[in-house]
Amino acid sequence: MTAGPHATTARPSWLAGYLLALAAGATWGTTGPLSTGLYALMPATSIGFWRVFLGTICIALWALAFRRDLFRVDTRGWLLVGVGGGLLVAVFELAYQFAIGGAGVAGAAAMLYTAPVIVAVLARLLLKEALTAARLLLAVIVMAGVALTVTGGSNAGAEAARLGLTAGIAGGLLSALSYAGTTLLARFAVPRYGSLRVLFLEAVGGVVILGIVLTLTGRAPTPPPSLAAWRGLGLLTAGSVLAANLFFFAAVKRIEAAPAAVAATIEPVVGTVLALLLFAQHLSGLGWVGLIMVVAGVAAGYLQEAKPREQ
């Protein structure tokens, strides 16, 4: 059947949206390998603060030079995106550190990637997006594949029980909820304020909240101690804070929140491959099965989203 005018214009937008979500996930996948080298140089909580702070400064300087309208935001935007989105950013940065310390790297990543299922359910309740059986099944398959991938790695459990399993589970669930919340907030706010303004407001809010919380808890952010630390933070800022978020916000302008979240779960696959190449880590048989499940789930999501637009 020949596609009509609407279909020919809609298809490129959908295709671009899905590819942008994949690009966001792949860029986020560099976070783990880059952070690994920084853990020996400075506290993990300081890494989280500084990468968001540097991203905020970069956006602010660019806006002063080229887009001063970026600073013009209504009160609703500051409250919803600046405070609400900033709180989600701060919760994620802190909760994920507790998850790693209490449940280990593999356990933390497995719990984090329950987020696609959370997004699929909440997108139905809050945004009235369709919750089809196929969409939910694909989210579960990808989530299960991620769990197998990260638990099958050679570094599984290396940091487990440092803070206690209860703290690890609480941190993992909070990080997943905050990740899901950020996805849903982007779906609502980006069409109204634009992707760059949403990123800027969330970053400003996150920096302020992180600075206050860390200082009050006796863990005030410490400056990077060396040129190597600054270089690592610069790479983290350019990738996981700026490029990845811009990719993802651009994606959710074109496709719905649930498939965007599923596509972005390519992140741990990229992280695993980089770990194999850079740190000589290996995957068990189940780990490779999980990797295949993630790739297959993302590919199936691509085909599933294409069907309604080709009719």
Lowest mean pLDDT among 73-87, 127-141, 175-189, 213-227: 127-141
272-291, pLDDT tens digit by residue? 777 677 766 567 788 788 87
State the pLDDT at residue 8: 39
State the pLDDT at residue 93: 82
State the pLDDT at residue 277: 74
Helices 31-38 and 267-279: crossing angle, nearest 10°?
50
Mean pLDDT estimate for the chain: 78
pLDDT band at 159 (very low <50, low <70, confident <90, very high): very low
Lowest mean pLDDT among 193-197, 296-300, 306-310: 306-310
68-121, pLDDT tens digit by residue? 888 888 888 899 899 999 999 999 888 877 776 666 666 667 777 777 677 777
In Å, the largest CA–CA distance within the chain is 65
Checking if the pLDDT of 5 tops 60, the result is no
Which of 94-121 are b and which e, b meaning 16 or more Cβ less than 10 Å from the residue's Cβ?
bbbbbbbbbbbbbbbbbbbbbbbbbbbe
Model pTM score: 0.73
State the pLDDT at residue 9: 41
Query: CB under 8 Å to 279, separation ≥6 — which residues?
Result: 33, 36
